[in-house]
A = this chain, B = another copy of it.
C-alpha cells in the first residue's frame, strides 16, 4: 500500500504566485472590461537581447547539421559556459574554478534542491520575509513538524526578521543554526547587504561551521560599486557558502531557463572534508538532472561579454528606470518605500496598518494594479507589499497614475 509523503500536507498555503493568479483571474472574469496592470510577479516583459537570440539561432543551425549536432551535454553544463562564468566573476575580484560551477535550468530549481545535500536534522534559518521556495522546499523535505498558525511560522525553522528597525538586513542568529539562506539584493525587500554585513554572516558561519546559501539572482541590479555582487567577495566565504544565480532577470531568460550554482571545493561541513560537498552536488546533478537546454546555454554564453553583456545591462537599466518611477510614485501618495535602488523590487508599507492581502485587494479592485502581498513571504512581510519593476514602461506609468488617482 503506497503512502504519500505527508510533509506536503504541512505546507501552510498554496504557493504564493498561483494564489495571486487565482485572485487576479477571478477579478478579470468579474470585470472583463477593466484593464489590469501587473506589478506583481517578478516576470520580465522586455524582448530578448538580439545578440543572445542570434547565438541561440546559431546553435539551432548547428543542431540542424549532422556534423555539428550534439545530444546530451554534460550534466554540469557546457565547459565554455562554465569557463565564461569563471572569467565573469573575475570582474568582482572573485577567483573560482570552472568545476565549481554547475549550470542549471534556473535559480529556482537550485534554490529548492540544494537542501538535499544536508542532513534532515540540520536547523535551517531564513530571512523573514523570504522567497517562499527556500522555506517550502525544506518543509517538503521533512525539516519541520508543522506550521504554527498562532505565530504564522513553521516549527523548527529559525526566522531572521528583516524589518524597518534593522533596515531589512537580518542580524546573525543568536542561536546555533546549520544552514542560512540569504538573498541579496533581496527578494522581496530590495535591501542589499553591504560587505561588512555579509562578513558578519560569513564569520558566524565559519565559527559555527554553518553553511550559507547565497541567492544573488538580482546581483546585476547592484549599481553602487561599494556593494558586493557575490558573497565570494568576502574573505573566507568559499569555506562556508554556496552561491546561486540566474540569467532570468538580466538576460530576460525567465522563460528560456538558465541559471547556475557555485559549490566551492573549499566548502567544509562538520562531518566531511573540503571537496566532498562539491562532489555530492555533482553526483546529485548527474542523477536528478540532465543538463540545461543547449540552446539556452548558447544564449547564456553570449550574455557574458561584449555586445551581449551590454544589451543585458541595457535591459537592467530599463527595469531600474521603472523602479525609479514606481518608488517616486508610491512615495508621492504617501507610502513609505524601501528598496528599488539597487534592486528591481520596491517594498512598500501598507497605509493605516492594512494587512498585506487587504491592501493587495484594494489595489486590485480600486486601482486595477496587481502587486504581491508581503505576508506571502513570511510573517515579517505583513503590512508590506512588494512592487515589481518588471513591466513595459507605459504600463508602469499607467499603473502609478492609476494608484495616484484612486488612492
- A287 and B133 form a contact (CB under 8 A): yes
Q: Which residue of B lies closest to A136 (CB)?
A: B287
A163 at the B interface (CB under 8 A): no
A128 to B391, CA, bound (A): 53
Q: List B contacts of A132 (CB < 8 A).
A: 287
- A108 and B60 form a contact (CB under 8 A): no
CB distance from A69 to the nearest CB of B (A): 5
- B18 and A290 form a contact (CB under 8 A): no
A313 at the B interface (CB under 8 A): no
A5 with B117, Cβ < 8 A, contacts A255-B72, A257-B292 known: yes
A4 at the B interface (CB under 8 A): yes
Q: List B contacts of A211 (CB < 8 A).
A: 2
Q: Which residue of B lies closest to A16 (CB)?
A: B286
- B65 and A47 form a contact (CB under 8 A): yes
- A3 and B270 form a contact (CB under 8 A): yes
A119 to B142, CA, bound (A): 11
Among A43, A211, A283, find the residue whose CB has the most chain B CB atoms closer than 10 A.
A283
- A47 and B63 form a contact (CB under 8 A): yes
Copies assembled = 2
A8 with B283, Cβ < 8 A, contacts A45-B71, A63-B53, A293-B295 known: yes
Among A11, A64, A255, find the residue whose CB has the most chain B CB atoms closer than 10 A.
A255
CB distance from A229 to the nearest CB of B (A): 22
CB < 8 Å neighbour of A46 from B56, B69, B178, B290: B69
CB distance from A116 to the nearest CB of B (A): 6
Q: Which residue of B lies closest to A254 (CB)?
A: B71
A66 with B392, Cβ < 8 A, contacts A5-B118, A60-B53, A283-B15 known: yes
A112 to B254, CA, bound (A): 24
Q: Which residue of B lies closest to A292 (CB)?
A: B257
Stretch at the interface among A147-155, A272-280, A364-372: A272-280
A178 to B1, CA, bound (A): 5
- A137 and B44 form a contact (CB under 8 A): no
- B136 and A3 form a contact (CB under 8 A): no
Q: List B contacts of A117 (CB < 8 A).
A: 4-5, 8
- A66 and B53 form a contact (CB under 8 A): no
- B4 and A119 form a contact (CB under 8 A): yes
A72 to B57, CA, bound (A): 20
Q: List B contacts of A286 (CB < 8 A).
A: 15, 18
Among A1, A57, A276, find the residue whose CB has the most chain B CB atoms closer than 10 A.
A1
A73 at the B interface (CB under 8 A): yes
- B287 and A137 form a contact (CB under 8 A): yes
A41 at the B interface (CB under 8 A): yes
18 residue pairs bridging A and B, Cβ less than 8 Å apart: A1-B178, A1-B210, A2-B269, A3-B122, A3-B269, A6-B119, A8-B117, A14-B283, A44-B69, A45-B71, A47-B66, A53-B60, A71-B254, A73-B255, A105-B257, A106-B290, A133-B288, A295-B295
